[in-house]
């Protein structure tokens, strides 16, 4: 139980123990969510979260002295940032430090999917090469990639596609003045004109099932879907049906709607490459993300400006 003479940071789950918890423990008691009670709630000044459990208005209402929610990750759909803003609570996330890592993984997943790298690996391991050559497969040549979401990571992905000589177009909520690529106001229209769709938009209610059966059908039987955003952005049932029926060529997925629970139907598909949400999973990048969580919490609790407040937290304050 925390020492009531010291302020506390509430942890909704393990948050980069060797970076976040080690540094914060020097100044604050670290309070696991399951230890929160009426007796401990008043000590909580900050929440450190990485999407394990929802930080909603009900939780924040129990914490009268809460100042900041530090989210470990760019996506913060498990934090009710609107409710936090109403309460004067700052919400921060960890943008930029993971852009390049996620963009690298996206191109790796695209290549693994279109060139069937996991399938070819199994072909060798199973001894089937001794019986004949691996069948010819699809290619990136002649394809146009459509990026759904042209934020920081989307732009990093676009730079990598340039190096591969692959044409790129995009759809986002609004046209980006600094992006010199064809813009589509309609996702469905873009899906009709491309053969690869890369999904890199935030999760949450506004984007739930944005990629639905109609969008998948528009991609067509030569189409490839790459999702490195949130599993909820794609209608998984529609995606499974499209992969099983061949109305979509293949999918490369780093995220799932109910992860770590993945529908078992995916496991039997040879036209799907499945990853366990590892877009930013390197020691280097996770340490940088953890440090940004720490720096934001310390700044706010020391009366300074947050480094990376989210859009729902207008800053500087009027």
Cα separation, 158 vs 179, in Å, equals 10
| Domains within the chain, CATH numbers bracketed | 8-95+284-301 (3.40.50.720), 99-274 (3.40.50.720)
Residue with tokens 């998984």: 236
Handedness of CA 276, 277, 280, 283 (dihedral sign): negative
The percent helix, strand, coil of the chain (3-state, each to 5) is 40, 15, 45
Task: Verify whether residue 277 is a known catalytic residue.
Answer: yes
Find the farthest-apart pair of alpha carbons in the chain and give their distance in angstroms, rounded.
Answer: 72
Among this protein's residues, is 259 annotated catalytic?
yes
What span, in angstroms and rounded, lies between the C-alpha atoms of 47 and 63? 10
Helix (H/G/I), strand (E/B), else coil: 309: strand
87, 209, 277, 312: which is the annotated catalytic residue? 277
> Could you say which of 45, 230, 236, 286 is catalytic?
230
pTM of the model: 0.89
Catalytic residue from among 259, 284, 286, 312:
259
Contact predicate 191/197, CB 8 Å: yes
Distances (CA, A) of 238 to 115, 134, 188, 212, 244: 24, 30, 15, 7, 10
264 is catalytic: no
CA separation for the pair 204, 79 (Å, rounded): 10
What per-residue string of b and e applies to 24-40 under the rule 16 or more CB within 10 Å gives b?
beeebbbbeeeebeeeb
> pLDDT 10s digit of each residue in the chain, 318 long?
444 568 999 999 888 888 888 899 999 999 999 999 999 999 999 999 987 779 999 999 999 999 999 999 998 999 999 999 999 999 999 999 999 999 999 999 999 999 999 999 999 999 999 999 999 999 999 999 999 999 999 999 999 999 999 999 999 999 999 999 999 999 999 999 999 999 999 998 999 999 999 999 999 999 999 999 999 999 999 999 999 999 999 999 999 999 999 999 999 999 999 999 999 999 999 999 999 999 999 999 999 999 999 999 977 775
Q: What are phi and psi of 98, to 5 degrees?
A: -115, 5
């Amino acid at each position: 139980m925390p020492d009531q003479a010291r302020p506390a940071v509430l942890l909704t789950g393990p948050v980069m123990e060797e970076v976040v918890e080690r540094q914060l423990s020097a100044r604050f008691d670290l309070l696991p969510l399951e230890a929160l009670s009426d007796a401990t709630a008043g000590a909580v000044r900050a929440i450190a979260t990485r999407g394990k459990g929802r930080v909603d208005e009900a939780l924040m209402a129990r914490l009268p002295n809460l100042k900041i929610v530090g989210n470990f990750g760019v996506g913060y759909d498990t934090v009710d940032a609107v409710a936090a803003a109403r309460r004067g609570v700052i919400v921060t996330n960890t943008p930029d430090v993971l852009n390049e890592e996620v963009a690298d993984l996206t191109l790796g997943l695209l290549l693994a999917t279109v060139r069937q790298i996991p399938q070819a690996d199994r072909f060798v391991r199973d001894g089937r090469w001794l019986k004949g050559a691996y069948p010819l497969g699809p290619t990136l040549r002649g394809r146009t990639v459509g990026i759904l979401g042209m934020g920081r990571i989307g732009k990093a992905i676009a730079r990598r596609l340039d190096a591969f000589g692959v044409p790129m177009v995009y759809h986002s909520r609004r046209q980006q003045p600094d992006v010199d690529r064809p813009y589509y106001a309609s996702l469905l229209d873009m899906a009709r004109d491309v053969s690869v769709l890369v999904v890199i938009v935030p999760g949450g209610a506004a984007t739930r099932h944005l990629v639905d059966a109609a969008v998948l059908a528009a991609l067509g039987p030569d189409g490839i879907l790459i999702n490195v955003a949130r599993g909820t952005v794609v209608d998984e049932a529609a995606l499974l049906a499209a992969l099983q029926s061949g109305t979509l060529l293949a999918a490369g997925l780093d995220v799932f709607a109910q992860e770590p629970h993945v529908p078992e139907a995916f496991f039997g598909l040879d036209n799907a490459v499945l990853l366990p949400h590892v877009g930013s999973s390197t020691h280097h990048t996770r340490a940088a993300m953890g440090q940004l969580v720490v720096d934001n919490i310390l700044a706010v609790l020391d009366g300074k400006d947050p480094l990376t407040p989210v859009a729902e937290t207008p800053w500087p304050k009027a």
